[in-house]
Amino acid sequence: MSKKTFYPIGRELYERKEMAELPHWENVVAPQKYEETGCIPAGYEWLIRYLDINKVNLNRFQDEFDLERSHRGKNDFNSIAQEIMKKYRFIKIKTRDFPTGLEKLKFILELIERDVPCLLSLAKTKAGGWHMVPVVKIDEKIKVIWLKNSQKNETCEYSAGDIIRRHDEWKGGKDIAWIEK
């Protein structure tokens, strides 16, 4: 009989037999080319690389789908997803807003348990400003890749309480995005 572990997810405890972690996340790197506008295109590139989706031009991916940088629109999960799916009809990107941080974390945990990577919209300050980051592991902490112009994955860890507080009390950061397998 395996030992059960209880992890805090907000004010609740979530019973798990082991942590949830994407199996080969450490082998997937997608450096963010443009610091001010590029976290969503870089994040979607990371998801595509993780899922090993073929027939996508990754050499120009971030240039092509950074709508703000190319003055073609606003960068958000939905606008960029629509452009990607228009060009690559075989890619099915899903996005979802959550009323509470707890609901968002529970859904992310379900995705990670199914080996489905996702991007988390993470509020950076109370006043606004967000960074979209791949979630790679959930146990006592939530581990994310802090996308930047680097040839290796740099990670940050947050407590469930911090993610929930940022979601529930700060402006923005209410949604996630993932690619359906």
State which residues form the domain around 115. 5-179
pLDDT at 101 over 50: yes
For 56, phi and psi rounded to 5 degrees? Answer: -120, 130
Note the pLDDT of residue 16: 52
State mean pLDDT over 63-89. Answer: 96
pLDDT at site 172: 86
Confidence check: pLDDT of 57 > 50:
yes
Q: What is the pLDDT of residue 155?
A: 93
pTM of the full structure: 0.89
Distance, CA of 93 to CA of 15 (rounded, Å): 29
| pLDDT score, position 8 | 55
Taking 90 as the threshold, does the pLDDT of residue 112 lie above it?
Answer: yes
Tens-place pLDDT, residues 151-169: 788 899 999 999 999 999 9
Cα–Cα nearest to 155, from 107, 120, 129: 120
Query: To the nearest whole percent, how much of the chain has pLDDT over 90?
Result: 72
Select from 76, 104, 106 the least CA-distant residue to 166.
Answer: 104
Residues 120-132: what's their mean pLDDT?
A: 89
Say whether pLDDT at 12 is over 70: no
Q: What is the mean pLDDT of the chain?
A: 89
Mean pLDDT of 3-15: 50
**Domain tally for the chain?**
1
Crossing angle of helices 160-169/101-113, nearest 10°? 130
Residue 2 confidence (pLDDT)? 41
Q: What is the CATH number of the domain that holds 169?
A: 3.90.70.30
State CA 135 to chain mean position distance.
5
111-140: average pLDDT: 92
pLDDT at residue 15, rounded to an integer:
56
Distance of CA 150 to the CA centre of its chain: 18
